[in-house]
């Protein structure tokens, strides 16, 4: 299978007021052509920082990629200049953000905002742009597209704005679409519409989608393969059915067990005790050790290796040869 | 089954007026339009619906944080909507609220001790020397300790802040708590901790919850009855099991089917609603759901439906089930 995006052993550090924090500590994953990869994790686990690094959107002054590389196909993109990155961004890789309300500019019409990538990347003449945009808006299921093109973002509902954002990301036919929690701010009925749209787009355009979310339901519905992140590390990577049928990392097991649907009604929900460690905390061993019920001394003292079993990768001491999984 | 009614909402209407300019008449938004329901002692009643359907407004109107336009909220044979500020305040120790956003609902300049002490001072409960002991007790119930007393809210994580919000609400031993989306701002692993806490506290202190949420899997897990709202009205109300097993209203069916599946191999019979929720400033005529309903008839466009009772606890507002009409087959 063709790999369109590879992230290898990525380490990122932020410097603020002389204090160094390391939110990403050795993240490795890849995205295949026309697959939907889910990235799951709680807030602060580094899923957004990772994708921002891929897009080259990290603040230059305060952040630094200390180790690792990001490959787009064969090309290394983590060391490109701003100019070169602008060629790729919006053209080969596009991104949809969480908040459709805040990511559109309130003082420009939909048409003005959507013509920007066409001007920039395709040098399309003005007349052609309008018809292209109207067609693109129609293709994501926006009714009255020829009127909406002249309206402002505040005149649209949340679901409509998210569709406009998706149109914006798709205008240049990108190979990869990164969707950062695209349905979190939307109601369930609208979420169902957007998820169906993303599925249909993947089929039509053979596009790869990276879906960042904290909602395991969305993952179950949409993704082919999933990586689970915890405190700046990838703790598990698996095909979707394997992840739900046989989660191997204690954290993934805990997440799946704590879903209300997997617990008896009115009973106490299974819950992972404790809190996510702060990014400023320095850890020798496994970041999950302090919340893990199977943790041993080894887990606290040294970083776990990644155990590979076909498509299923787990970063945990318990699965190494001398470890025993309870 | 006869249960004691703790709070009764009758024909409640809350309208907001929007100024259109000096010479134009004000626009009226019917956030809550003629809603009636009872809450029984010790139960958890859920209000569910999409954003903008008026579920939070009902919660706020019950506690008199928003003035009702008409209708009654009966608590202890008193109509809360007619009480003045002082009378309401003296009742507040029995009616409390847990807010959605744990980051915005705690005063950043106060320590946890001050935050949890405030309701005790306002309501003059316990002797001053006893208060500290009571606060420590309540903090222990919600899973914090004496050690946290002198800290400020920014030092806590989202889940811990929500625990403080719960401690502040339950320290007066209220009878009734309005919980407005208490877990929707939290991460999955922390969400289950807070849900467990709310269930524990309910058991220990015999609380009644009005649980406002849009997360149907949480609602299914922890509530006894559910009221489904659409554009300011309750379209269906039933016990939780009944509602999830046998939804009647086309909107309820669509809403339940939109919930993401919990396992990739699960097949869902999704009813996709087209379009968005109409603006409450300009709601459709008749049954407000008719533009999105696949079974809408002419009658639905003209008349707003009255309640049909399937059983003592299951009511639906839909023309499809009016007396005489045949049961629909899906």
* Mean pLDDT, residues A47-65 taken together: 88
Chain B residues within 8 A of A196 when measuring between CB atoms: 272
Q: Which of B43, B50, B154, B192 to mutate to test the interface with A (most CBs of A within 10 A)?
A: B192
Residue among A92, A218, A114 nearest A165 (CA):
A114
Which residue in B has a C-alpha nearest to residue A189's C-alpha? Answer: B258
Q: Does the beta carbon of B269 lie under 8 angstroms from any beta carbon of chain A?
A: no
Q: Is A269–B255 a contact, with Cβ atoms under 8 angstroms apart?
A: no
Q: Which tokens hold the place of B257?
A: 């089917």
Q: Does the beta carbon of B287 lie under 8 angstroms from any beta carbon of chain A?
A: no
Which residue in A has a C-alpha nearest to residue B255's C-alpha? Answer: A189
Q: Does the beta carbon of B189 lie under 8 angstroms from any beta carbon of chain A?
A: yes
Q: What homologous superfamily is domain A3-92+174-319 in, according to CATH? A: P-loop containing nucleotide triphosphate hydrolases (3.40.50.300)
Q: Which residues of B204-230 are buried (b: 16+ CB within 10 A; e: fewer)?
A: eeebbbbbbbbbbbbbbbbbbbbbbbb
Chain A residues within 8 A of B158 when measuring between CB atoms: 43
| Model-level ipTM above the cut of 0.90 | no
Structural domains in chain B (count): 1
CATH code of the domain containing B11:
3.40.50.300
Q: Does the beta carbon of B76 lie under 8 angstroms from any beta carbon of chain A?
A: no
Which residue in A has a C-alpha nearest to residue B219's C-alpha? Answer: A260
Question: What is the CA angle B129-B135-B138, rounded to 5?
Answer: 145
Cα-trace Rg, chain A? 21
Model confidence, pTM: 0.85
Q: Is A216–B265 a contact, with Cβ atoms under 8 angstroms apart?
A: no
Which residue in B has a C-alpha nearest to residue A261's C-alpha? Answer: B217
Whether residue A260 contacts residue B217, with contact meaning beta carbons closer than 8 Å, is answered with yes
Residue-wise pLDDT for A99-142, tens only, equals: 777 889 999 999 999 998 898 888 888 889 999 999 999 888 88
Residue entry with tokens 């889910």? A38
- Delimit the domains of chain A by residue range: 3-92+174-319
Residue B10 lies in a domain: yes
Residue-wise pLDDT for A174-231, tens only, equals: 999 999 888 887 788 888 888 988 999 899 888 999 999 888 889 999 999 999 999 8
Chain B residues within 8 A of A159 when measuring between CB atoms: 276
pLDDT grade for B323, boundaries at 50, 70 and 90 = low
Q: Is B258–A192 a contact, with Cβ atoms under 8 angstroms apart?
A: yes
Q: Is A192–B222 a contact, with Cβ atoms under 8 angstroms apart?
A: no
pLDDT (0 to 100) of residue B3 = 80
Residue-wise pLDDT for B188-240, tens only, equals: 778 888 899 999 999 988 999 999 998 888 999 999 999 999 989 999 999 99
Q: Is A191–B258 a contact, with Cβ atoms under 8 angstroms apart?
A: yes
Would you say the C-alpha torsion B128, B129, B132, B134 has a positive or negative sign?
negative
Chain B residues within 8 A of A218 when measuring between CB atoms: 260
Residue-wise pLDDT for A63-74, tens only, equals: 889 989 999 988
Residue B211 lies in a domain: yes
Backbone angles phi, psi at B36, to 5 degrees: -130, 135
Residue B74 lies in a domain: yes
Interface residue ranges in chain A relative to chain B, Cβ cutoff 8 Å = 42-43, 157-160, 187-193, 195-196, 214-218, 220-221, 240-241, 244, 254-255, 258-263, 265-266, 268-273, 275-276
* CB-nearest partner of B263 from A159, A220, A258: A220
DSSP 3-state of B294:
coil
| A294: pLDDT strictly greater than 60 | yes
Which residue in B has a C-alpha nearest to residue A245's C-alpha? Answer: B263
Q: Is B258–A189 a contact, with Cβ atoms under 8 angstroms apart?
A: yes
pLDDT grade for B270, boundaries at 50, 70 and 90 = confident
Residue-wise pLDDT for B20-41, tens only, equals: 888 888 888 888 988 999 999 9
Residue among A223, A217, A210 nearest B188 (CA):
A217
Q: Does the beta carbon of B201 lie under 8 angstroms from any beta carbon of chain A?
A: no
CA atoms within 13 A on the CB side of B129: 0
Instruction: Give the Cα separation of A134 and A46 in Å (integer).
Output: 36
Q: Is B160–A275 a contact, with Cβ atoms under 8 angstroms apart?
A: yes
Q: Are strands A3-16 and A19-32 parallel, antiparallel or unpaired?
A: antiparallel
pLDDT (0 to 100) of residue B2 = 61
**How far apart are the CA of A15 and the nearest CA of chain B, in angstroms?**
21
Which residue in A has a C-alpha nearest to residue B224's C-alpha? Answer: A266
* CB-nearest partner of A160 from B187, B221, B276: B276
* CB-nearest partner of A221 from B196, B200, B261: B261
Where in the sequence is the domain holding B236, given as residue range(s)? Answer: 5-94+172-246
DSSP class of residue A121 equals I
* CB-nearest partner of A265 from B221, B257, B272: B221
Residue B125 lies in a domain: no
List CB contacts of A177: < 8 A, sequence separation 6 or more.
A93, A94, A95, A96, A169, A170, A201, A207, A208, A209, A210
Which residue in A has a C-alpha nearest to residue B275's C-alpha? Answer: A190
């Amino acid at each position: 299978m063709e790999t369109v995006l590879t992230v290898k052993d990525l380490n990122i550090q932020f410097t603020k007021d002389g204090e160094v924090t390391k939110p990403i500590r050795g993240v490795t994953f890849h995205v295949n052509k026309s697959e939907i990869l889910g990235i799951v994790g709680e807030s602060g686990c580094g899923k957004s920082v990772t994708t921002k690094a891929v897009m080259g959107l990290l603040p230059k002054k305060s952040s630094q990629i200390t180790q690792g590389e990001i490959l787009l196909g064969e090309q290394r993109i983590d060391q490109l200049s701003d100019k070169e990155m602008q060629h790729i961004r919006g053209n080969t890789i596009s991104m949809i953000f969480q908040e459709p309300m805040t990511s559109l500019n309130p003082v420009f019409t939909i048409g003005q905002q959507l013509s920007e990538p066409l001007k920039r990347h395709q040098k399309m003449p003005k007349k052609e742009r309008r018809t292209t945009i109207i067609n693109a808006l129609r293709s994501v299921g926006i009714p009255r597209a020829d009127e909406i093109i002249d309206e402002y973002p505040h005149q649209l509902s949340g679901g409509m704005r998210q569709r406009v954002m998706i149109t914006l990301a798709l205008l240049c036919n990108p190979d990869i679409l990164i969707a950062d929690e695209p349905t979190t701010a939307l109601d369930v009925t609208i979420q169902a519409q957007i998820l169906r749209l993303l599925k249909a787009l993947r089929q039509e355009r053979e596009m790869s989608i990276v879906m960042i979310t904290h909602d395991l339901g969305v993952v179950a519905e949409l993704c082919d393969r999933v990586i689970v992140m915890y405190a700046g590390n990838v703790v598990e990577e698996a095909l979707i059915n394997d992840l739900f049928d046989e989660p191997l990392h204690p954290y993934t097991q805990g997440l799946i067990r704590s879903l209300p649907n997997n617990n008896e009604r009115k009973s106490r929900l299974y819950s992972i005790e404790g809190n996510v460690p702060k990014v400023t905390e320095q850890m020798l061993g496994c970041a999950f050790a302090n919340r893990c019920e199977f943790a041993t001394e080894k887990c606290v003292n040294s970083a776990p290796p990644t155990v590979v079993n076909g498509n299923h990768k787990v970063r945990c001491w318990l699965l190494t040869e001398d470890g025993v999984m309870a | 089954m006869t249960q004691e009614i703790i709070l009764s909402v009758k024909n409640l209407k809350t309208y907001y007026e929007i100024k259109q300019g000096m010479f134009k008449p004000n626009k009226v938004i019917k956030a809550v339009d003629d809603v009636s329901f009872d809450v029984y002692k010790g139960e958890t009643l859920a209000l569910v619906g999409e954003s903008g359907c008026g579920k939070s407004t009902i919660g706020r109107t019950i506690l008199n944080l928003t003035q009702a336009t008409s209708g009654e909220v009966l608590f202890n044979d008193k109509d809360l909507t007619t009480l003045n500020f002082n009378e309401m305040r003296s009742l507040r120790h029995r009616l409390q609220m847990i807010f959605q956003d744990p980051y915005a609902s705690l005063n950043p300049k106060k320590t946890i001790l001050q935050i949890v002490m405030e309701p005790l001072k306002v309501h003059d409960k316990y002797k001053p020397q006893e208060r500290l002991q009571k606060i420590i007790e309540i903090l222990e119930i919600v899973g914090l300790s004496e050690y946290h007393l002198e800290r400020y809210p920014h030092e806590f994580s989202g889940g811990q802040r929500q625990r403080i919000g719960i401690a502040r609400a339950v320290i007066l031993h209220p009878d009734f708590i309005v919980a407005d989306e208490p877990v929707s701002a939290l991460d999955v692993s922390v969400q289950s901790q807070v849900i467990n806490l709310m269930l524990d506290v309910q058991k220990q202190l015999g609380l009644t919850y009005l649980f406002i949420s849009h997360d149907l899997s949480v609602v299914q897990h922890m509530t006894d009855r559910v009221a489904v709202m659409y554009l300011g009205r309750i379209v269906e109300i039933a016990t939780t099991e009944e509602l999830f097993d046998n939804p009647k209203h086309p909107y309820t069916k669509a809403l339940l089917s939109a919930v993401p599946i919990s396992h990739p191999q699960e097949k869902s019979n999704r009813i996709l609603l087209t379009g968005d929720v109409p603006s409450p400033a300009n709601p459709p005529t008749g049954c407000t759901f008719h533009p999105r309903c696949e079974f809408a008839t002419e009658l639905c466009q003209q008349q707003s439906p009255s309640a049909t009772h399937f059983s003592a606890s299951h009511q639906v507002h839909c023309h499809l089930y009016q007396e005489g009409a045949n049961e629909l087959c899906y």
